[in-house]
Amino acid sequence: MNTARLLLDPRRRVAPVPRRLFGSFVEHLGRCVYGGIYEPDHPTADADGFRGDVLALVRELGITTVRYPGGNFVSSYRWEDGVGPVDKRPARLDLAWHSLETNAFGLDEFMRWVGKAGVDPIMAVNLGTRGTAEAVDLLEYANHRGGSHLADKRRDNGAVDPYGIRLWCLGNEMDGPWQVGQRSATEYGRLAAQTAKAMRRFDSDLELVACGSSYLGMPTFGSWERDVLTEAYDDVDLISLHAYYQPVDDDLPSFLASAEDMDTYIDAVTAIADSVGAIRRSTRKIMIAFDEWNVWYQSAAPSTPPSGEDWPVAPPLLEDHYSVADAVVVGGLLISLLRHSDRVTAACQAQLVNVIAPIMTEPGGSAWRQTIFHPFARTARHARGAVLDVLRDSSTTTTDRYGVVDAVDAVSTWDDSTGEMTVFLVNRVLDTPAEVTVDVAGAQVGGIIECVTVGGADLDARNTADGPDHAEPRTNDTARGSGASVQLTLPQASWTMLRLRATDVTP
């Protein structure tokens, strides 16, 4: 029998839900920009060339921030190429993805797009082939009101008001041998600290992200974070984590438990950052920006860039078509991020459109939601208020990669303003439903608002242009109960959202 009992108490709070946890990522890679968010000849395109159907889906997805312009792309990017009259912008070879970058879309277009999407920008600077001077130039162009050369150039280009970008990434994956301008940890840490100091001379209230390891399995993981923060601890606010997941050797049980890896990764980097702070006797806490995460089938053919003399414009790359199983894993990763909201204060699912994305498009044609769209959109919409410290007593399941793990994973949020308690759950067991009891302390459940599930059957099902709704969430009518307890059944291998109407009864 697969069972779990959860204890929720509005008095046991981890942290407020960070709204920047529901960020996304737009890189000049494949068809993410060209043919994704930007397609001037599309029937739904507006005067700026932005696809209206994509903008509608982006708003429905509920993202709060977008990181731009990379990713690997940023490490050889000249931001000046993407501003000014479009017909005068140079085409450049993109060394990261072996493509031709036309620069028809750049910073000014991106800022107009985020304004229409209703989201905040996160800007990455090139610390691969460039350095402090170019980062400060970009900051001046973007954020200075006027009266300087670069700020006046922005105004001449049509943006009279400064962009006011608050969160900046100091490079990208600088430990990676695939990165243009790879550096050692000490070398990068000193450059990041130097750049941060210079940027803060312009605006001391900027939030700055240092590059952590590219993934947990990097040979230098741990020592990289320690050495970077030894150099830059007092100058940055966050350190980045990146992680992508896919089934290995058809090991679906381990894949469904991918959040175990994310938990370990976050806990390890938190401990390393705090150890550096303790040695420095610092009262500051370095937070975490999990600014790249998703399911990504990296060994699949769509992830292989062009080569040789072939430098195409916006070739189809990394266009994974996600299954229901992938959606369950994404729901589990969101649970992990919420669980660590006391330290993970920003996160970006990579990426937004076409490239390992929740939204897919056809050139000149339709746009549709991939399976992973649904758990993200529901979590972004209903994870409000404070994250609760959920006490779990669950059956276990055995995985090849992570050993014995809880069969049911869960997190909960509580919104004081609406009296809504929301529980997000994953049943990681492939062949057995889970009977779950939710006990509530310090509050009384007045009723069930909604209970929906993704998964449980046909884990290989995928949404397509012709069948865009094959894997939509369905009503889970097993939820029952009120007062101090609610029961529900989770289908095998599924993600579920349970929304409860509750009243705080604590004195």
| Mean pLDDT calculated for residue range 258-281 | 98
Taking only the tens place, the pLDDT of each residue in 116-140 is: 999 999 999 999 999 999 999 999 9
Q: Out of 173, 225, 319, 420, pick the active-site residue.
A: 173
Please state, in angstroms and rounded to a whole number, the distance separating the CA atoms of residues 188 and 126. 12
Nearest to 476 by CA among 461, 503, 456: 456
Please state, in angstroms and rounded to a whole number, the distance separating the CA atoms of residues 123 and 412. 31
Q: Out of 80, 225, 292, 319, pick the active-site residue.
A: 292
**The two three-digit tokens of residue 210, written as one number:** 């240092």
So what's the pLDDT on residue 76? Answer: 97
The answer to whether 187 is a known catalytic residue is no
Taking only the tens place, the pLDDT of each residue in 403-418 is: 999 999 999 999 999 9
Are 390 and 10 within 8 A, CB to CB?
A: no
Pairing label, strands 434-440, 480-482: unpaired
Q: Where do the domains of the chain lie, and which CATH numbers do they carry?
A: 3-10+386-504 (2.60.40.1180), 18-382 (3.20.20.80)
The answer to whether 134 is a known catalytic residue is no
How many Cα atoms occupy the beta-carbon half-sphere of 485 within 13 Å? 5
Are 414 and 388 within 8 A, CB to CB?
A: yes
Whether residue 30 has pLDDT greater than 70: yes
Whether residue 507 has pLDDT greater than 70: no
Nearest to 497 by CA among 481, 473, 463, 480: 473
| DSSP annotation of 204 | T
Q: Which band of pLDDT confidence, cut at 50, 70 and 90, is reported for residue 1? A: confident
Phi, psi of 10 (to 5 degrees): -60, -15
